[in-house]
Structure 1
């Protein structure tokens, strides 16, 4: 079925503000916001329609009055109900492009707070909830500056969003104005010279997505480090938060690639931050792993170029046979795989794998620079172990004509339909006496909980840290895989989702925390309820990152859940952001 005109209009990337009726969506009882809180729709301090219209004019008509894309599924004041459009939306809801082409939608489920759910009855409420009230379709530094000025002048919560490929809703917020960077698609190849790097580089605008970066770099005979997911924005929270992917064991994390950042500060000043910068080397350091949407609004990043490589891939599955008398052989197979991870990583390859109940799926093993024969040789010791265990398995490998062809053939990922928790797993655990057995036992305990899926993304970035240093948690350098597990979201039982989130925090994640005392989690793939998040996300870099945050954003203009500086704020029941007391 082709999308209806109503649906296409709703997800249009340029919904221009034309009606004062859009000025107060999700209005609450009028009240004056206290000085310690951001102004909120319905407050006397909330800008009147003529101010929003004037703001829109100053942006050349690029202000968007947001409506949740699921409004077509409800009888509400936000948008007319359209059964045909709703059916289309329900059928495409779990596709990333449904959300990244929207100025307000979120790929993650729980942060929506059930405010406009396309899978509930049409009579269910649909409100703005945690969606940004307005978004600015930014096209350059002038739009950034105008937006920053307006948000601060009217004490409005600001969020930065690109594709919204974010598990924890950092790019959204109730009563917020979003700086939408998705259409900053500039791409440039250049020869770069600095104290730490001389050679070919690429400069990408803040809205460039991973596949676009791969395509452009390969068209010029090179590769850049990017994510496993094609739709992720390269320059946004991905690179600012760490950034793993199929090439990181060969070339380092995304944060290890950034030669310079072009940003707009909260003050409106446009600066270029690099390790050689006399004034802003500290900002470069913080942006390289200290978290997105925190220190400045990024316009572009210049990253290292690497030689183009061939690519081979493999996949493997095995499961507990129906006739098995005991699950022991299956879990021994998982343990042997865990033991094999260092060899996979040290070869410069990457494995993405899953365990659910008593089924194991190595969905993709990326082997850049490997032909099929070399990849099969790398995997043979593990296959021999499965044979000894008499575990039936399915294994296939393929050498691709080029990197991009192989990358795009791999299983895709949809919009985040999980409540998740995460932990970085150190090499010492997998290689210690009894460590692989203890880790496998933890995976067994986690997946024994009904409906839980455990996944791992492997890498070795121990030798790729730039000499000038980066702000990412140092724990990454001793990590062999990022463990992420979760429960599937239930779109018709919100209380169940909240219980699942609490189960992850209180019951499941502790299995890994006990094995990794003083450990860490990837701030882009984490439990949003992580209690000791300052240490877990930022480690030994917390103090310096906090100092840099105070230097460049003393008034806390930039905020995101779990970001440096977020400890200075609390979120109220209605979503309003207030200063912590």
Structure 2
């Protein structure tokens, strides 16, 4: 794959030709001198991509280093391996095996699906220069912080990345005041990670809403896409916390967006998806007094017991979720063939005794069926103590995925719960696993935002996965197709068209091949979101897979992003 340009023509055949056979660039691609001049303007902040796995291959980047490659393979699924790079996505599917550590050393190692360059941006001026350069030279632009991204939004063939990772300033605001909020707040630069935000909050006797992953960026797609996590049943989604965005729009303007200033942009950024309206410099959110927290873990398997007994206990647990989430707790669980794990259920402001009472029906069902289990519940003096003790740092997701938001009506009776268990069993019998995050975010925030309304009736955000194949792109394509066409429809069949709003999914953890993503990811908000997109990005600088307005473009087989 060679560096290529976006094309604004109605048909790609009207564009300058791209010569793939001999490896030459498109005629629109900037010369080396132009890139060098741009780097000089940026004072050396332009980063040319060198794939991490180049140490595993003989290529233009160097020769195979077996020891370095073995070491890289051993840590490839750690988020820290990818976070500090400007180009490596954590969802391996979107690297397209361009330069993969698990393929033979004789296989290709090219930039391919990675970004060509990245700008290490630490100011509004860097943002503005990058946007202007991308527009002037008709280059695909992506926004990247850490690479935590299930849908390939932070990478792209022939792209220039606006790399926000080093905007790491954090400020505690003791007396934030606006017409709609008065209280403590925290302001985060676009590159701040969840663990950094939580530790500074903790040091000041505060908590803020953040994700389950320690290294997820706070201000990026996480909050812009809604943002779930251990505190959301008590405090609301991450998007519900937003007080102010500081952004650079598609017209290179640096503006603030609040409920009273550029209110439409504020609304869109708060839950309407990232990477498409503007590039975020900073985010200001509500901060709350720290809180004592109870948390519990539970694991059991089907070894030595009948399938009926195993799934019977799973059903008992599912039926207990309304009481758990209504109490302000969040339960994170995993169901795989013959294996069930809750890790953890987090209950802010609750005692361990109260939490155990909520879990007791499941524990009783395990004992009644003589199923061995591992269980731990404890009180913690602060939220961060519980987070570190009970929420182990996850590796990157080595799965092809799809997802659905499951409405609370599915757990309103034994009959509907049994139907859900049957669908989950079908998924497991067909090579899948299910990761569930159970919440109650039905409380509507004081200031409306663009969060998919389906969230307000959701009790489970269910992610369905099929293992990623390290060496076969075709196997992964087939696996993703199975998710789309075979497994997710089993959940769709359970979801009523009315009440909860029909089929919906969390847009940050979803199937990038979702054909009706406008309705499934954004619900009734989509038409208004599209208007706001066109207002603040009228030149079409921002584009991301399944983002608002993305249907106006299509990716060609040769990697070019062209007008639809």
Q: Which residue of structure 2 aligns with residue 8 of structure 1?
A: none
> d(CA) in 1 for partners of 2:8 and 2:465?
38
Q: 2:277·2:542 contact (CA, 8 Å) conserved in 1? A: yes
Q: 2:296·2:346 contact (CA, 8 Å) conserved in 1? A: yes
The match for 2:259 among 270, 275, 286 is 275
Matching of residue 295 in structure 1 with residue 277 in structure 2: yes
Q: Which residue of structure 2 aligns with residue 27 of structure 1?
A: 2
> d(CA) in 2 for partners of 1:413 and 1:453?
16
Q: 2:96·2:113 contact (CA, 8 Å) conserved in 1? A: yes
SS in 2 for 1:235: coil
Q: Which residue of structure 1 aligns with residue 337 of structure 2?
A: 357
Q: Which residue of structure 1 aligns with residue 21 of structure 2?
A: none
Task: Tell me the CA shift for residue 34 of structure 1.
Answer: 7.3
List per-residue Cα deviations over 1:377-411 (Å, max 9, x = no partner). 22223222333333332211122343223212322
Q: 2:408·2:458 contact (CA, 8 Å) conserved in 1? A: yes
> d(CA) in 1 for partners of 2:510 and 2:196?
27
Matches within 5 A, 1:502-517: 502-516=481-495, 517=497
Task: Tell me the CA shift for residue 158 of structure 1.
Answer: 0.3
Change (3 A) 1:347 1:34: closer
List per-residue Cα deviations over 1:439-480 (Å, max 9, x = no partner). 111001001113x211100110101x2233100110000000
> d(CA) in 2 for partners of 1:32 and 1:365?
46
Q: 2:303·2:338 contact (CA, 8 Å) conserved in 1? A: no
Q: Which residue of structure 1 aligns with residue 293 of structure 2?
A: 311
Q: Which residue of structure 2 aligns with residue 115 of structure 1?
A: 98
List per-residue Cα deviations over 1:343-382 (Å, max 9, x = no partner). 1111111111111112211121112222322222222232
Q: 1:189·1:202 contact (CA, 8 Å) conserved in 2? A: yes
Matching of residue 456 in structure 1 with residue 431 in structure 2: no
Matching of residue 58 in structure 1 with residue 2 in structure 2: no
Q: Which residue of structure 1 aligns with residue 537 of structure 2?
A: 553
Task: Tell me the CA shift for residue 124 of structure 1.
Answer: 0.4
Matching of residue 474 in structure 1 with residue 453 in structure 2: yes
Which one is further off, 302-311 or 393-402? 393-402
Change (3 A) 1:54 1:349: same
List per-residue Cα deviations over 1:303-328 (Å, max 9, x = no partner). 00111012222111122232x3x311
Task: Tell me the CA shift for residue 276 of structure 1.
Answer: 1.2
Matching of residue 398 in structure 1 with residue 378 in structure 2: yes
Q: Which residue of structure 2 aligns with residue 569 of structure 1?
A: 553
SS in 1 for 2:200: helix
Matching of residue 221 in structure 1 with residue 201 in structure 2: no
Change (3 A) 1:383 1:31: closer
SS in 2 for 1:442: helix
> d(CA) in 2 for partners of 1:300 and 1:252?
20
The match for 1:501 among 480, 500, 516 is 480
Q: 1:260·1:302 contact (CA, 8 Å) conserved in 2? A: yes
| Count of matched residue pairs | 548
TM-score of the two chains, using structure 1 as the length reference: 0.92
Matching of residue 345 in structure 1 with residue 325 in structure 2: yes
Matching of residue 532 in structure 1 with residue 516 in structure 2: yes
RMSD of the TM alignment (CA)?
1.7
Matching of residue 246 in structure 1 with residue 256 in structure 2: no
SS in 1 for 2:353: helix
Q: 1:33·1:43 contact (CA, 8 Å) conserved in 2? A: no
> d(CA) in 2 for partners of 1:354 and 1:103?
31
Change (3 A) 1:32 1:112: closer
Q: Which residue of structure 2 aligns with residue 19 of structure 1?
A: none
Q: 2:402·2:484 contact (CA, 8 Å) conserved in 1? A: yes
The match for 1:426 among 401, 407, 410 is 407
> d(CA) in 2 for partners of 1:332 and 1:300?
47
Q: 1:67·1:79 contact (CA, 8 Å) conserved in 2? A: no
> d(CA) in 2 for partners of 1:485 and 1:570?
26
Q: Which residue of structure 2 aligns with residue 487 of structure 1?
A: 466
Q: 2:69·2:101 contact (CA, 8 Å) conserved in 1? A: yes
Matching of residue 378 in structure 1 with residue 378 in structure 2: no
Task: Tell me the CA shift for residue 433 of structure 1.
Answer: 5.8
SS in 2 for 1:284: helix
Q: 1:209·1:233 contact (CA, 8 Å) conserved in 2? A: yes
Task: Tell me the CA shift for residue 244 of structure 1.
Answer: 0.3
The match for 1:171 among 151, 154, 178 is 154
Q: Which residue of structure 2 aligns with residue 4 of structure 1?
A: none
Gaps of 5+ in 1: 1-25
Q: 1:214·1:224 contact (CA, 8 Å) conserved in 2? A: yes
